[in-house]
């Protein structure tokens, strides 16, 4: 939808007050500038906040992406919800998983039977997995532990509006069409 209610300058003032970022959108291949003039507003804490903003200023909600170091965002189209943990982990790659304590316990039993030969092996095994268990025990209800090749990678909320993966930045926000 094309905005006729508010100017870009007025919207920039509102965005500054709310701590939102305004990026120019490109429609060029490989993030090169083409057909400039539309803008992305990103930095929302939740999809609900984004939706309220979009309704207030008569804007559409879109997904955007860019590569690190690039100046423009690419419009990936309309979206109707925030990013979720499962699609995020899929985007990261096969080596990444959402930590599951039951699966961890099963793997631990297998490892104890197969690779632990003495006290030093056991000590090394416990030390290498201690951070995982410590981080798992600190999780809040809406958080997930992500592992990389079985080791700690990061803690992430179940739904979110922005993320970084594979030298790219992804965001959900509002599209201001001039």
CA atoms of 8 and 115, how far apart (whole Å): 62
- The answer to whether residue 42 is domain-embedded is yes
pLDDT of residue 33: 75
Please indicate, yes or no, whether residues 28 and 94 belong to a single structural domain of this protein: no
Specify the residue for token string 């939102």. 20
Q: Which of 77, 58, 65 is nearest to 162 (CA)?
A: 65
Count the domains in the chain. Answer: 2
DSSP for 106-157 reads HHHHHHHHHT--SHHHHHHHHHHHHHHHHHHHH--TTEEEEEETTEEEEEEE
Helix (H) or strand (E) holding 159: strand 159-160
Question: Does residue 1 sit within a domain?
Answer: no
The DSSP call for residue 69 is T
Residue 34, in any domain of the structure: yes
What 8-state DSSP symbol labels residue 30? Answer: G
Span between the terminal Cα atoms of the chain, in Å? 10
Q: What is the pLDDT of residue 35?
A: 77
Three-state secondary-structure class, residue 85? helix
> Nearest 5°: CA angle at 122, between 121 and 128?
90
Is residue 101 located within the same domain as residue 67?
A: no
Is the domain of 76 the same as that of 94? no
Q: Which domain covers residue 60, as residue numbers?
A: 8-82+161-176
Residue 42 CB contacts under 8 Å (≥ 6 apart), including other chains: 20, 21, 23, 64, 73, 161, 162, 171, 172, 173
133 and 96, same structural domain?
yes
Position 15 in a domain: yes
Residue 125 shares a structural domain with residue 70: no
**Tens digit of each residue's pLDDT, the chain (178 residues):** 554 578 999 999 999 999 999 999 998 777 677 778 899 999 999 999 999 999 999 999 999 999 988 889 999 999 999 999 998 999 888 999 999 999 999 988 888 888 888 888 888 888 889 989 999 999 999 999 999 998 899 999 999 999 988 888 999 999 999 8
Q: Is residue 125 part of a domain?
A: yes
């Amino acid at each position: 939808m094309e905005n006729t209610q508010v100017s870009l300058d007025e919207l920039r003032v509102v965005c500054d007050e709310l701590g939102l970022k305004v990026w120019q959108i490109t429609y060029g291949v490989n993030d090169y500038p083409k057909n400039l003039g539309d803008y992305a507003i990103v930095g929302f804490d939740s999809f609900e906040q984004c939706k309220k903003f979009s309704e207030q200023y008569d804007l559409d909600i879109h997904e955007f992406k860019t590569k690190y170091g690039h100046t423009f965002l690419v419009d990936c189209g309309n979206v109707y919800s925030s990013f979720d943990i499962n699609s995020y982990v899929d985007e990261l790659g096969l080596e990444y998983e959402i930590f599951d304590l039951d699966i961890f316990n099963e793997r631990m039993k297998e490892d104890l039977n197969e690779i632990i030969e003495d006290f030093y092996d056991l000590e090394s095994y416990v030390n290498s997995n201690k951070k995982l268990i410590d981080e798992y025990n600190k999780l809040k209800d809406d958080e997930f532990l992500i592992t990389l090749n079985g080791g700690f990678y990061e803690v992430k909320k179940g739904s979110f509006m922005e993320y970084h993966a594979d030298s790219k930045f992804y965001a959900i926000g509002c599209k201001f069409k001039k």
